[in-house]
Amino acid sequence: MIEYRPWGYYEILKEKTNYKVKRITVKPGERLSYQYHHKRSEVWTIVSGEAHVTLNDEVFHYLYGETIIIPQGTKHRVLNKGLDNLVFIEVQHGSYFGEDDIVRIEDDYNRK
């Protein structure tokens, strides 16, 4: 099942009690909210496009095949500056994976 968001969409590929795997697609020029999580960490692997990732206010550039480790509580966001979709696989680890564990610090779409 695909879940649409203002920045693109994601699909849950696998969900178990101790992990969740998503395929996330970010449209050109869009970015996710600047956020962190209380109950999970994430690992992102870029499979298409270029990612500009902010981790605790520092920006990094990632390409196809590169992996980003986001520890629990780390502020993070991803921006697609490219002309094509950015696609990455997100593996979540932790004790809870609900969307209500997103603590948004800043959001382009006025979500809370």
Domain ranges of the chain: 2-94
Per-run averaged pLDDT (10 residues), the chain, 112 residues: 96 97 98 98 98 98 98 98 97 95 95 81
Nearest to 92 by CA among 47, 44, 46, 54: 44
Residue 111's pLDDT is 86
Q: Is the dihedral of CA 103, 108, 21, 55 positive or negative?
A: negative
Structure-token pair, residue 90? 């997100």
Amino acid at 25: T
pLDDT value, residue 14 = 97
Q: What pLDDT does residue 50 have?
A: 96
The CATH architecture of the domain made up of 2-94 is Sandwich (2.60)
